[in-house]
């Protein structure tokens, strides 16, 4: 019922939000009569703020068109390589017609970034992706809004998340021989489970795992987020925060944890900060500080865009990660795609190098929660393990913004590079004289000389035979 009431309220507010935007533009236009009022700028700012507080925030796009690598602009083509009911594996393929730059980027490490499924879209990691693209081939998991997934596509469980990650790792490994995996926040737990299961089966595991700000052991330095999950019973969550998607969406009838509840929780953690931020935006509009106002819009366009999570996945995450602590207790069993129950044993990982990253001021995943991964991955040699704490960085600061770019990324880049190994090339790309000048980061494998001569000889022989 709450979901229906929320959607009704949002639908009623939508036309007023649109009118507020129109009024804001009217009062900001100096050529209009309204724009000549001495209070025009203040009225425009008021309507603009009203519009942003009442509008509906859709999923943003990554919007990465080009990146700069050593002064050379490289084109980025974003494409979906695997489409699953609840997730898409996206690749950001790089193109350039600069021969030296192409030669440099085609041998760079391949990184699979596993984005969190915890309320926000994967675009929250836009800065992470953009920075990583300078020195890596990049893939990312782009989780879907559960309210847009029809009931006919089935349910989504935490086990499915783990199985998705394994499938994506195998896909990238199949193209390049191996890869590096980076998980940010929530996915540190299912990613560790996925790699652990692969190791237990004797499969090839990623060259490195980078765990950033995740609740590996939520018992350490519990935050407000942890305390809520720990102090409420499983039945409380099921009875109080799970609702069915209204009939106006493709996923009508699906049980979900609504995104608007998650967003309310985010804001409630620090309401004074958000109130001040909106007031500062109002003042920036009055002053005409367009740069600061645009920075505010970009942040909140991302922050306010939230998605619904399938109820089974959400409830199982609460139980496994925050109530049973099944990963660190060694009691977590996962059902594979084939239906087999398998025990998660991080100690079985022996060849994957491990980097953990924490922010000194992280109020989502407390100090020591991510570092705990080193204790349970006892099979990884100490020489392959490293921990880094970003001083002065909060939760978002370890993967986005200045501290990410200046402090954390150099550590991640160096760690991946130090453990990277030559991988097998993708399938050879046939190049003809009519091919365009721009080339991609994929390796082009020329035919061996002997093979080429043999092919020429065979064609010549065939021509003679035909002449006869």
pLDDT in tens, 283-311: 999 999 999 999 999 999 999 999 999 99
Tell me the average pLDDT of the chain.
Answer: 89
Q: Is residue 454 part of a domain?
A: no
- With pLDDT > 90 as the criterion, what percentage of the chain qualifies? 75
Query: How many domains are there within the chain?
Result: 2
The whole-number pLDDT of residue 464 equals 34
Residue from 447, 446, 427, 445 nearest 174 by CA: 427
Domain end call among 418, 433, 451 = 418
Residues 214 and 312 in one domain: yes
* Sign of the CA dihedral running 1, 305, 247, 318: negative
Residues 360 and 232 in one domain: yes
Residues 10 and 121 in one domain: no
Q: Do residues 94 and 138 lie in contact, with contact meaning Cβ atoms separated by under 8 Å?
A: no
Q: Is residue 332 part of a domain?
A: yes
Residues 24 and 89 in one domain: no
Domain end call among 418, 437, 460 = 418
188-201 vs 158-176: helix axis angle to the nearest 10? 60
Q: Is residue 464 part of a domain?
A: no
Q: Do residues 144 and 87 lie in contact, with contact meaning Cβ atoms separated by under 8 Å?
A: yes
Q: Do residues 376 and 236 lie in contact, with contact meaning Cβ atoms separated by under 8 Å?
A: no
Residues 102 and 206 in one domain: yes
Mean pLDDT check: name the lowest of 135-144, 184-193, 334-343, 441-450. Answer: 441-450
The DSSP bridge pattern shows strands 255-257 and 66-69 to be unpaired
pLDDT tens-digit readout, 49-98? 999 999 989 999 999 999 998 889 999 999 999 999 999 999 999 999 99
Q: Which domain holds residue 213?
A: 66-258+308-418
Q: Is residue 98 part of a domain?
A: yes
Q: Between vectors from CA 405 to CA 281 and to CA 134, what angle results, nearest 5°? A: 120
- In this predicted structure, the answer to whether residue 233 has a pLDDT above a threshold of 70 is yes
Please compute the mean of the pLDDT values over residues 329-350 and round it to a whole number. Answer: 96
- In this predicted structure, the answer to whether residue 449 has a pLDDT above a threshold of 90 is no
- In this predicted structure, the answer to whether residue 339 has a pLDDT above a threshold of 50 is yes
pLDDT tens-digit readout, 190-232? 999 999 999 999 999 999 999 999 999 999 998 888 888 888 9
Residues 386 and 352 in one domain: yes
Q: Is residue 447 part of a domain?
A: no
Contacts 24+ apart (CB under 8 A), 35-38: none
* Sign of the CA dihedral running 247, 251, 253, 258: negative
Give exposure, 206-215, as e/b (b: 16+ Cβ within 10 Å).
bbbbbbbbbb
């Amino acid at each position: 019922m709450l979901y229906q009431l929320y959607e009704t309220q949002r639908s009623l507010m939508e036309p007023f939000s649109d009118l507020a935007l129109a009024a804001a533009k009217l009062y900001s236009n100096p050529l209009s009569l309204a724009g000549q009022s001495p209070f025009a700028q203040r009225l425009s700012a008021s309507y603009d703020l009203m519009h942003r507080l009442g509008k509906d925030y859709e999923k943003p796009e990554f919007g990465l068109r080009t990146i700069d690598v050593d002064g050379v602009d490289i084109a980025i083509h974003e494409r979906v390589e695997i489409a699953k009911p609840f997730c898409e594996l996206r690749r950001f393929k790089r193109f350039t017609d600069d021969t030296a730059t192409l030669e440099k980027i085609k041998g760079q490490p391949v990184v699979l970034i596993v984005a969190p499924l915890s309320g926000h879209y994967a675009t929250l990691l836009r800065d992470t992706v953009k920075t990583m693209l300078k020195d890596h081939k990049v893939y990312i998991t782009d989780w879907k809004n559960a309210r847009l997934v029809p009931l006919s596509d089935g349910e989504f469980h935490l086990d499915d998340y783990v199985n998705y990650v394994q499938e994506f790792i195998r896909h990238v490994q199949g193209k390049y021989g191996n890869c590096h995996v980076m998980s940010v926040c929530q996915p540190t737990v299912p990613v560790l489970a996925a790699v652990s299961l692969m190791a237990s089966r004797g499969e090839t595991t990623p060259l490195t795992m980078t765990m950033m700000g995740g609740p590996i052991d939520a018992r350490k330095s519990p935050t407000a987020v942890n305390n809520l999950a720990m102090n409420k019973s499983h039945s409380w969550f099921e009875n109080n925060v799970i609702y069915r998607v209204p009939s106006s969406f493709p996923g009508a009838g699906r049980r979900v944890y609504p995104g608007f509840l998650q967003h309310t929780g985010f804001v409630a953690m620090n309401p004074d900060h958000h109130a001040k931020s909106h007031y500062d935006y109002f003042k920036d509009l009055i002053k005409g500080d367009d740069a600061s106002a645009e920075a505010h819009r970009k942040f909140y366009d991302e922050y306010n865009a939230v998605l619904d999570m399938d109820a089974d996945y959400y409830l199982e995450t609460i139980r496994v990660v925050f109530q049973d602590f099944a990963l660190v207790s060694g009691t977590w069993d996962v059902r594979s795609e084939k239906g087999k129950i398998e025990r998660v044993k991080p100690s079985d990982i022996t060849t994957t190098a491990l980097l953990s990253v924490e922010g000194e001021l992280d109020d989502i995943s407390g100090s020591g929660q991510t570092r705990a991964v080193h204790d349970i991955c006892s099979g990884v040699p100490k020489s392959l393990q490293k921990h880094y704490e970003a001083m002065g960085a909060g939760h978002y600061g370890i993967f986005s913004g200045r501290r990410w770019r200046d402090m954390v990324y150099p550590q991640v880049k160096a760690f991946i590079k130090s453990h990277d190994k030559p991988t097998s090339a993708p399938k050879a790309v046939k190049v003809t004289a009519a091919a365009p000048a721009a080339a991609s980061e994929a390796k082009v494998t020329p035919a061996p000389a002997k093979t080429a001569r043999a092919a020429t000889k065979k064609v010549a022989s065939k021509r003679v035979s035909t002449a006869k």
